[in-house]
Amino acid sequence: MWRPCQRRCVHSSVRLMKKLGGKTPAEQRWVLRQLRDPYVKASHAENFRCRSAFKLLEMDDKFRLLQPGHSVVDCGAAPGAWSQVAVQRVNSAGTDPELPSGTVVGIDLLNIPPLDGAHFLSSHDVTDPSTHAKLLELLPNGRAHVILSDMAPNASGFREMDHERLITMCLSLLDLAEKVLQPGGALVCKYWDGILARTLHERLSRVFGGVRTLKPNASRKDSAERYFFAKMYRKRIK
């Protein structure tokens, strides 16, 4: 006799076979990993746009960098999961009328679906002066309390090249900070571990009072992904 649990298993197997059908071995491994990932399941349950939301939630729970009323710039924002967290934490949608309302501005070369409480600059380059000008208009008093960056280049398959490209992207955030980050502000940026990570750490240490390396639990253990959390920004001296 077929029991309900047996039927569910058969139906799950059929769905799984459909997901895997016609895919390359590498694509099949990715699908299987996604299906088994508890953070992917949790992101669906909590309506986050992707699992990366839990990385920012964990870091913010520990360091309280996103406060109601804060202004936040989210670099490499697509598809918008970090902006979702920022909107909640700084109350930029005005969900709690008793708390001050913050501001969230997301930037990406890709299209970012609309999100209540966030301003998105889709098809914008975070290094472009015209993007900086728009940020100055959108941010209250032209200043941000926090810069977030989960951006990364498209993977080339060459680890050292990808590492160098991402470090270069992170270094560009120092120019952005000089334009919009208020004194005492904070920055969180993703990097891939490698030989140039020390260079990035040193450059951040010149303009921030403290820099820490983080590896959130939601980051996959086999990934070279790390984050720098830099706090107490001081404008660099030319």
At a CB cut-off of 8 Å and minimum separation 6, what does 11 contact? none
Beta-sheet pairing, 118-122 with 181-192: unpaired
Closest to 146 (Cα-Cα) out of 41, 226, 216, 59: 59
CA dist 51 and 81 (Å) reads 8
At a CB cut-off of 8 Å and minimum separation 6, what does 190 contact? 149, 150, 151, 152, 166, 170, 225, 226, 227
CA dist 233 and 206 (Å) reads 9
SS3 49: coil
- 19, 55, 190, 215: which one is catalytic? 190
18 noted as active-site residue: no
CA dist 17 and 28 (Å) reads 10
Catalytic site positions: 190
